[in-house]
Amino acid sequence: MKKIYLARDLSDAHLLKGFLEGDGIEAEVQGESLWKLRGEIPITEDTAPSVWVPDEDYDRAMELVETFHVGEASASVARKPWRCACGEENEGQFTECWNCGRSR
């Protein structure tokens, strides 16, 4: 499984899951139980709900995520370029560094 999307909240995650399943991709939402503890623990990339897909569907799922616009906030966060630990700048739609393969 690969993580393709970090959601703002559970409904955001489930919307995308349904969207991917509509296209035949068996997506999975992770982090639901942690999300329900929000307020008690800080919200970070590790505690926000995320959407995962099977490795073989990853490329197709990423294209679908691109067309999936739920709120400009999460969309713009997802698209912001990011700098990898190896120093390379990556486009926001990539979750792994093109240079060294480290995940975002």
Minimum separation from the CB atom of position 89 to Zn ion (A)? 10
Binding site for Zn ion (CB under 5 A): 84, 86, 88, 97, 99-100, 102
Give the residue among 41, 34, 35, 29 at the shortest CA–CA distance from 3.
Answer: 29
Measured from the CB atom, the residue of 43 and 94 that comes closer to Zn ion is: 94
The C-alpha atoms of residue 75 and residue 21 are separated, in whole angstroms, by: 20
Measured from the CB atom, the residue of 65 and 84 that comes closer to Zn ion is: 84
Minimum separation from the CB atom of position 87 to Zn ion (A)? 7
Give the residue among 61, 48, 74, 58 at the shortest CA–CA distance from 21.
Answer: 61
